Amino acid sequence: MAMKGVEMETAVSLAVADITAEGVPNFGREMRKYFQFDDDWINLNNGSFGSCPEPVTRVYQHFQHLSERRPDTFIRTNLPRLLAESRSALAKLVNAPPATVVFVPNATTAVNIVLRGLEWAPGDKILYFDFIYGACGNTVLYVAESTAASALRVEVQLPITDDALLSVFEATITAAAGTVKLAVFDAIVSLPGVRLPFERLVAACKKHHILSLVDAAHSVGQMPLDMQALDADFFTSNCHKWLYAPRGCAFLYVPERNQSLIRSTLPTSWGFVPKTGGAVISPLPQIEGDVGWAKMFTFVGTVDSSGYLSVPAAIAVRERLGGEQKIMQYTWDIARKGAEIFRQRLGTDIMPSYGAGEVAMFNIRLPLELHEVEESLRGEVVTFLTDSLDAHGTYVAVYLYKGVFWTRVSGQVYLDEEDFVKGAEIMAGLVDMVKTGEWRSLEGKIKGLAV
């Protein structure tokens, strides 16, 4: 029997079928029916790993099942075409030519592809801020150890105004006297979760004739993106954080002018073309829409590409729920309201988020002073708070940033104000336990608590 149902239209229809039949519920708790949380779980931490709606998960599993029915037929014949169609759908969403967008497992992989792919000469510097995502910061350090490049770390105290950040950025470049080859910076910092003026940073890179690499892990689905208007030299974002794609799905954007600089995938695979010629011919057939530089990323060894193929379904589900602007506006609004609920309950303040745009993540200072916790126990306090939150049926990021304890909350369409009220109440009680020392008697026992 010939394989059927290998059309992208079939998968998208599968994703939106229930929503079309039932009608779109109101955002907030009613929306939980389309997500897969335990009944007693409140996810206030969408920013870390995202949340994939059940209709998109069905599409993900649909492609997994198809690949198992006839592995060779699916992987060799259907996958290249489906990947090209999925890339085109994502490219349209972020206003990029399809030939400039490829799928990778996550933003960290994309950063590695760029930093490891560029050729570095003695004296070349990689500029980065001290609040860079840890894995990407490690990548900068590794490249500095293993190549002729060196790392140029810029210390900044957040929060900081856009103008002040730009001033520090440009002053550092000027002081480096033409040695900075590339600057890597976030669109939205992970911890603390604040928006940077990345558009202005990209423009400053152009002004100083250096390459820009934007780690926008939190951006697609949380803010409008326009790759051609931004015109960064390299840009990456995770589709699984805010766009509702399955985990392990991100994109890397490289404009045509820079594609010759990135000659290999990670790991190097079938698409690599040696400078000496004589490349190994790929086992996959060439299909329409899968040509040029992007074709190098079509078959990077044997991996499960079902998450990549689910992106059109995620986009379609979002359209059915009301579209990008409606979803983003709700996540921004509920995150702001939720942060205010935490602030009022904890009696502290919210870290301002700068940059010309809204965000769906906010940081609230915990009412816990550094002198109240022994230096040797500060890491354990963070662990106690996060483990305890999990045991009480919720989760938010808790972290120590430059001598201050913070928590980061995220907004999403399945949350309402009541969820934040519960989360804030739990957090307040746990902080009180740390202040009184009661937490020491529960340390190590939290994971066994009933949720």
| CATH number of 324-448, picked from 3.90.1150.10, 3.30.70.260, 3.30.420.40, 3.30.1490.20 | 3.90.1150.10
Residue 76, burial from CB neighbour count under 10 angstroms (0-12, 13-18, 19+): middle
What separation in angstroms does the CA of 6 have from each of 17, 40, 54, 303? 17, 37, 20, 18
430: which residues sit within 8 A by CB, 6+ positions away? 384, 385, 388, 389, 439
pLDDT at residue 289, rounded to an integer = 60
- Give residue-wise pLDDT tens across range 286-326: 766 666 899 999 999 999 999 999 999 999 999 999 999 99
Sheet holding 101-104, edge to edge: 101-104, 250-253, 234-238, 211-215, 180-186, 125-129, 150-154
What are the residue ranges spanned by the domains of the chain? 81-315, 324-448
SS3 content of the chain, % helix, strand, coil (to 5): 50, 15, 40
pLDDT digits (tens, 9 = 90+) for 186-202: 999 999 999 999 999 99
The three-state secondary structure class of 312 is: helix
pLDDT of residue 446: 53
- Separation between Cα atoms, residue 306 and residue 65, nearest integer Å: 10
Q: Give the residue ranges of the chain where pLDDT is below 50.
A: 1, 447-451
Place of tokens 């995770």: 238
Q: Which of 352, 354, 94 is nearest to 198 (CA)?
A: 354
Per-residue model confidence (pLDDT) at position 450: 33
Consecutive H or E run containing 364: strand 361-365
Tokens representing residue 402 in the block: 């430059």
pTM: predicted TM-score of the whole model, two decimal places: 0.94
> What is the per-residue pLDDT for 146?
98
Sign of CA dihedral 141, 355, 311, 56: positive
- CATH number for the 81-315 domain, one of 3.40.50.1820, 1.10.357.10, 3.20.20.140, 3.40.640.10? 3.40.640.10
Distance CA 242, CA 5 (A): 28
Positions of E strands within 194-233: 211-215
DSSP helix/strand/coil, 103: strand
Residue 190 token pair? 């992970």
Residue 176 CA to residue 155 CA, distance in Å, equals: 15
Contact 86, 59 (CB under 8 A): no
Report the residue count for the chain. Answer: 451
Q: For 18-44, b where at least 16 C-beta lie within 10 A, e where not — what string?
A: ebeeeeebebbeebbebbeeeeeebbb
